[in-house]
């Protein structure tokens, strides 16, 4: 009976992840409320707020009953908790302190959800349960909505191009969930095939579903997600040949980065030899159907960096920049009404300044070190963490998930980057 009670706890983070991976509760009941011109971004949605608040309270109660050794958890993730603390302090100089504080509370809720998963030992099995449950439901419904309920499953962008969105609100979100699921199913195939486990037909079926969703109309393709998935799969294959010695593993990563840079340099020289104005990025973007501005992203980055230059050290305060069009006039210059910088590093810089960037870098560096260590101790778990870590770091170059508690990839980052020692869990957890 006790084991079942602990397993029930995983339904709480499952509901959180399911919500941030779809349209959210309020959109299904109040679809008109998401008109960008009429939605109150400062007040937010009361229905969503209440839903997440209930999950946060339940998550905190679960963690309280586990009698965790918080000192060990904080010590093992000191840079992340310094980062989280600095976010809270930055509310003091925000122009919208009420909004910023509410967003920080929700950020704390996302951390609580991740800790609920990570303290259900073994942590890898708990992660897989939460993610797999969502994937198994998500994609069949996506395809049904796109094929037979197009008023829900299909949307159109500002230029009138058709977008397959399924359960989500945008092609990019569907692409992010798709790349996450494709990575998981591929990783699980490698793991089970190595262990001699058969019966992987479900994995193949779901990979075919994801491939189908990735090959929709041109307006439905999330180039960033497809590219990031390719990076993740290459990383996964590369790690299969990685040495199992600590010093050799570190050298392996350094050599891998060096080889990648040399390949890019040689390709760039080759392109330049046949095209005087050609570059690697330009050729790749042309093949992907994008322009040199990355569909307006680079112009947006210039405008945001100009605003950020006014508060370079500390930023404007956590959760205080993307509040509709209240904090700046970006919607006047960009008719597609951006609600993020489409670059996670720029978003951190504009809200938390150089201090926030340094803390983010320290958090990511410490997470990389921890993940690198886990490859030596538990290879499958380490590969799982490393692949997703690299994918999320790369994905934030042209999309933004850092600091966004309502983003599906932020939740995945917390799952694979936070380190919860077994000794920090209660006696009942360690015995299980």
Cβ neighbors of 217 (< 8 A, separation 6 or more) are 161, 162, 163, 164
φ and ψ of 241, to 5 deg? -105, 5
SS (H, E, C) 36-66: CCCCCCCCCCHHHHHHHHHHHHHHHHHHHHC
Cα 27–chain centre separation: 21
Q: Which helix (H) or strand (E) holds 164?
A: strand 162-164
Tell me the pLDDT of the chain (432 aa) as tens digits: 344 444 689 999 999 999 999 988 877 775 544 455 555 566 667 888 899 999 999 999 999 998 889 999 999 999 999 999 999 999 999 988 999 999 999 999 999 999 999 999 899 999 999 999 999 999 999 999 999 999 899 988 766 678 899 999 888 999 999 999 999 999 999 888 776 666 688 899 999 999 999 988 876 778 889 999 999 999 899 888 776 666 666 666 666 666 665 665 555 555 444 554 444 445 444 544 555 555 667 788 888 888 888 889 999 999 888 886 655 677 667 666 777 888 899 999 999 999 999 999 999 999 999 998 888 888 899 999 999 999 999 999 888 999 999 999 999 999 999 999 887 776 545 444
Integer-rounded Cα radius of gyration of the chain: 22
Distance of CA 20 to the CA centre of its chain: 10
At a CB cut-off of 8 Å and minimum separation 6, what does 411 contact? 13, 16, 17, 20, 110, 113, 114
What pLDDT is recorded for position 28?
79
pLDDT of res. 196: 63
SS3 163: strand
Contact between residue 30 and residue 47 where contact means Cβ atoms under 8 Å apart: yes
pTM of the model: 0.87
Element (H, E) at 373: helix 344-377
* Local structure of residue 406 (DSSP, 8 states): T
How far is Cα 103 from Cα 41, in angstroms, rounded to an integer? Answer: 12
Question: How many whole angstroms separate alpha carbon 403 and alpha carbon 52?
Answer: 16
DSSP string, 172-226: HHHHHHHHHHHHHHHHHHHHHHHTT----HHHHHHHHHHHHHHTS-GGG--HHHH
Here the tokens at position 66 are 């586990």
- Report whether the peptide linkage leading into residue 122 is cis, meaning its omega lies within 30 degrees of zero: yes
């Amino acid at each position: 009976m006790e084991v079942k009670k602990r397993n029930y706890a995983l339904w709480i983070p499952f509901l959180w992840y399911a919500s941030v991976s779809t349209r959210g509760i309020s959109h299904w009941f109040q679809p008109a409320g998401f008109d960008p011109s009429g939605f109150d971004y400062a007040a937010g949605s009361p229905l969503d707020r209440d839903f997440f608040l209930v999950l946060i309270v339940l998550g905190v109660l679960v963690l309280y009953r586990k009698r965790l050794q918080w000192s060990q958890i904080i010590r093992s993730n000191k840079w992340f908790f310094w980062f989280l603390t600095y976010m809270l302090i930055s509310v003091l100089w925000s122009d919208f302190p009420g909004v910023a504080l509410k967003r920080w509370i929700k950020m704390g809720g996302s951390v609580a959800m991740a800790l609920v998963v990570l303290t259900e030992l073994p942590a890898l099995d708990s992660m897989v349960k939460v993610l797999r449950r969502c994937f198994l439901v998500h994609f069949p419904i996506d395809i049904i909505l796109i094929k037979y309920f197009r008023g829900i499953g299909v949307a159109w962008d500002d230029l009138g191009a058709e977008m397959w969105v399924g359960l989500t609100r945008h092609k990019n979100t569907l692409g992010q969930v798709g790349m996450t699921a494709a990575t998981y199913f591929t990783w699980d195939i490698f793991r089970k095939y190595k262990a001699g486990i058969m019966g992987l037909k479900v994995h193949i079926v779901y990979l075919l579903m994801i491939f189908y969703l990735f090959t929709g109309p041109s307006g439905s393709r999330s180039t960033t997600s497809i590219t990031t998935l390719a990076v993740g799969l290459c990383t996964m294959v590369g790690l299969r040949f990685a040495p199992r010695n600590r010093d050799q593993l570190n050298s392996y990563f350094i050599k891998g980065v060096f080889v990648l840079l040399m390949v890019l340099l040689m390709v760039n020289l080759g392109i330049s030899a046949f095209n005087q104005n050609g570059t690697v990025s330009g050729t790749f973007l042309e093949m992907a159907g994008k322009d040199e501005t990355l569909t307006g992203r680079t112009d947006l980055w210039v405008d945001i960096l100009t605003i950020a230059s006014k508060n370079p050290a500390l930023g404007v305060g956590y959760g205080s920049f993307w509040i509709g069009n209240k904090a700046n006039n970006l919607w006047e210059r960009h008719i597609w009404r951006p609600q993020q910088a489409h670059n996670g590093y720029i978003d951190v810089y504009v809200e938390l300044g150089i201090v926030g960037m340094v803390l983010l870098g320290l958090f990511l560096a410490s997470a990389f070190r921890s993940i690198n260590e886990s490859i030596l101790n538990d290879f499958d778990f380490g590969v799982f963490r490393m692949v997703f870590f690299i994918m999320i770091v790369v994905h934030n170059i042209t999309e933004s998930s850092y600091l966004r508690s309502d983003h599906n990839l932020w939740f995945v980052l917390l799952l694979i980057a936070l380190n919860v020692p077994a000794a920090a869990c209660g006696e009942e957890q360690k015995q299980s």
